[in-house]
Structure 1
């Protein structure tokens, strides 16, 4: 994209320079007319003539300056630019006609000026417009010969200028053909550089370049831009059954469906693997949801070979939506938030559209106004932790999602449910003070490093202490690593001494830790993690809570096992 813009700028600058030269030559023509009109020879130059000469030069240099600044302006685009170029071209035509008439009409030596315009128009606008300008120029030159030439006898000027008219057209035609061929070649190279070879939508690199570029425009205009992330449900399962060639056919079909389901100005890209992204310029949240739902429905209603053997008998997709600037302030935040929404869609039974929302945005509604700024600061701290520890970022979102399900199954009150959700979101905030080298260490931690890592619950408690409205979630932050048998930390609490909501959080936190990729341990399958929960019931976990959570996971096992 940047290369294309750079090329267009270079062409634009060359055209502008050539037209500047044509203007300077026109100035010579006008100056010659002035000398001839006053019957002045160069040898007769006096003070008055010098004044005329200086005025003429100043006039044309001023004209050249304004034409240059206008021609190099980047303010115009689309139909506006087309109209401006049209007016500019025909102003040049009129100027050259005037120069030819003033410098002798049919006898003028300045008819060649039209070649400058024909060449620049063809280079800039292509063969069609180049030939149009050449035909207009030819007609005008020949018309001047007929109007100002001899009224009787042979009009030698007309005959000679018929050859010149042929030169005009022959200049535009092959040059235009070359420009067309070159443009097609460049477009082919751009498509190879910017498109995904399999799905024929844009590739990952083009997506990022486009998103950054469009966000700058939308930010300056105060406009909304939406982003859709789409993932094919159970695609690994499909590939395992039918092989990657069949899987490639599905990816290609999904790409075609996406292009048919969006607007002309939207940008569809393959983000990676079975994941696609759609940039929706000038689109508010509700419109983005409608487009996403239309995509989801079109995929669900399309028949894919062998889809009857998918877990739900259909090949479907999960979709996440986020909006700039409402839900994110930068391209990276927008991508992360759309990805969070996608995760939520995959988690909640798949084949659905989910919109990003922040737990802390909910929290702001429940706390006192005087603590709003502190909560915003906490959100910033969590972002810093996410940047330091890639595991923590996805882990928090999953723990929140699991906590919602378990809270509903256990019949928690709305107040307790909110406390659990907020605690789940902030339970690892104390990692802010842990070195990145320890958080991301691939080898097992040393005893000293474990002791440092075990300080994060107490660190987290210190961070939220100033916010009185967060007092209720303090136990979840401080005690989420306690064990039911009393061998946890930091308080070595046992059994019922551990607050009920903390015991809930401990189960879901541990389950996600077991089933996630972590720097220092290999993730378990859901079945392996369920066995671990059973084996540790009564020692690490509250037996009743563990069993309820196991029931939830097993009820949804068919939904999870193909993805996670």
Structure 2
């Protein structure tokens, strides 16, 4: 829609340029008639140079007027400067027309129609009000010339005739201005329909992306941060299924109204899609956007929605993801992706919470050699691809990282081991990039062939990070996180303490999350059921000491983990 509007404005400028150039041409004809006409040929041949200089002066003046117009149609100036330029331009045109009329007979001149050009162009460009003002000024000039030039006659016939021209001026500006106003209103309605979500009254997904690109360009130019909030209504499908889409739509409209009330004038609030909303916050740093995000979360949580008491958490709430440019992202695409990642983290961990984007690999970049930065960035891209292929992987990885942080503290690991465990937890499934979606998302048990393919992801993961010398210390975690304590795991059937210690920790954490999450092939267990399963397999599949400590971690942090 914006491109169509720009194309339309370009066409209008082209038409106006033709009208203005035509008016300048007529003015030039009038001026040249004065200098070269038979009645005004007062210069003999020796005065040819004077005539030539006069002609050049006239052409330079007309060229200057055209130059003023050309600058006025560019987008290099703000609204205030544009108005000043257009006022100067209109004044220059009126001055030229006055000179042309005066030197071609004044009140008897046949060039009084020249003012129609500037009336038409002003009305088209600036609307009825400016068009009428220009028409009135032009009328006053013509009638004044008539009164002065024809004052010696008993009946000023030219004045009476020019009253008709004045009427034409007014009637040109008035209906044309009215048409321009109607068309502008119609276009605004079309733009509004194209940019605004019909249900909530917020901006829609398309406008959000267009506006974000514009805001990003301005943010880079002014070296100012720009923040983004993406939020999702918790258990909204449950609410819709329980009360119907009509009630769901009412909830969406209510939340849209709340967001408009909370948002600042410079913020752009949009319905991102379905039950998701987004806000672009220009010139807003991390601390400020977190405060705003938390305010939104609390406002929605404390607002009553009909039937919310029957939702799983007893309230209609939202999860909020936040990211900031340029601290957390380097482009508009990265800003959206990082805010979306933060939203997923908020959804996976307890819901009804605000999460700021953090990346394990961004932390990792601080600990590796400069020459390997690009490779780590590529690994981050691979993990994003895996997340897109396997809808269960993203939440699984994030949760395993959280569990690993908690368990690392419980086991009093040193800083190097803590980092290795956390980074390994983040990348332990990277080898799944080579596994097809059909196998990753299969709802039935895998057959032997499929199972053998899936088991290769540990070895594949090691091969992927092998080129990064700074990451080789993570290879044991990636390679051995599916080994069993009794030696029946894969890929090397290691047993007991033959399995690297950090890999044994990761095995417990990884398995626990697999048991307590929605997976294609099994029903999710509760935390209590998951702990019982770990204890049941303690000494066979898992290191018993690690199971004991991890069980304590889960019970101590159950409330904050959200299950």
Match of 1:279 in 2: 280
1:537 alignment partner in structure 2: 537
Change (3 A) 1:300 1:125: farther
Q: Gapped runs of 5+ residues in structure 1?
A: none
2:76 matches 1:78: no
**2:290 and 2:85 mapped to 1: Cα distance?**
38
User: For the residues of structure 2 that align with 1:102 and 1:32, how far apart are their CA atoms?
Assistant: 9
**Cα distance change, pair 315–329 in 1 and its aligned pair in 2 (3 A):** same
Instruction: State the superposition RMSD in angstroms.
Output: 3.8
Contact 2:101–2:112 (CA<8 Å) still a contact in 1?
A: yes
Q: Structure 2 vs 1, CA of residues 63 and 466 (structure 1 numbering), >3 Å: closer, same or farther?
A: same
What residue is the counterpart of 2:138 in the other structure? 137
In the alignment of these two chains, the number of paired residues is 553
Partner of 1:233: 234
Map of 1:263 onto structure 2? 264
- Cα 1:523–1:28, aligned 2, differ >3 Å: closer, same or farther? farther
Cα 1:497–1:184, aligned 2, differ >3 Å: closer, same or farther?
A: same
Give ranges in structure 2 of 5+ residues lacking alignment: none
In structure 2, the partner of 1:373 is 371
Distance 1:503 1:200 in 2: 53
How far did residue 339 of structure 1 move? 0.8
Alpha-carbon distance, 1:201 to partner: 0.9
The equivalent residue for 1:411 is: 410
Mapped partners of 2:230, 2:555: distance in 1: 30
Q: Does 1:254 align with 2:255?
A: yes
**Alignment pair present for 1:340 and 2:338:** no
CA distance in 2, matches of 1:529, 1:36: 106
More moved, 117-126 vs 397-406: 397-406
Deviates more, 1:62-71 or 1:543-552: 543-552
Q: Deviations along 1:458-516, whole A, 9 cap, x unmatched? A: 34334445656545533221112223443322222234443443234334434555677
Q: 1:117-516 alignment to 2 at 5 Å?
A: 117-151=118-152, 153-365=154-366, 367=367, 371-387=369-385, 390-391=388-389, 395-396=393-394, 398-405=396-403, 407-408=405-406, 411-413=410-412, 415=415, 416-431=417-432, 434=434, 451=452, 453-465=454-466, 470=471, 472-510=473-511
In structure 1, C-alpha distance between the alignment counterparts of 2:172 and 2:396, rounded to whole Å: 67
Helix, strand or coil: the match of 1:320?
strand
Contact 1:340 1:397 in 2 (8 A): no
**Cα distance, 1:553–1:393 mapped onto 2, change above 3 Å:** farther
> What TM-score do the two structures reach when normalised by structure 2?
0.85
Cα distance in 1 for residues equivalent to 2:555 and 2:232: 27
C-alpha spacing 1:533/1:107, structure 2 compared with 1 (3 Å)? farther
CA 1:449 to 1:133, structure 2 compared with 1: closer, same or farther past 3 Å? farther
Task: Give per-residue Cα distances to partners, 1:183-206, cap 9 Å, x unaligned.
Answer: 222222222222211111111222
Kept after mapping to 2: 8 A contact 1:427/1:476: yes
Q: Secondary structure at the match of 2:277?
A: strand
Structure-2 residue corresponding to 1:97: 98
Contact 1:438 1:449 in 2 (8 A): no
Distance between the aligned counterparts of 2:462 and 2:101, measured in 1? Answer: 86
Q: Quick check: 54-63 or 453-462, which moved more?
A: 54-63
Q: Deviations over 1:23-50 (max 9, x none)?
A: 22222222223235982299x9996598
CA offset at residue 211 of structure 1?
A: 2.3
Higher mean C-alpha deviation, range 332-341 or range 219-228:
219-228
> Compared with structure 1, are the counterparts of its residues 315 and 260 closer, same or farther at alpha carbon in structure 2 (3 Å cutoff)?
same
**SS of the counterpart of 1:112?**
helix
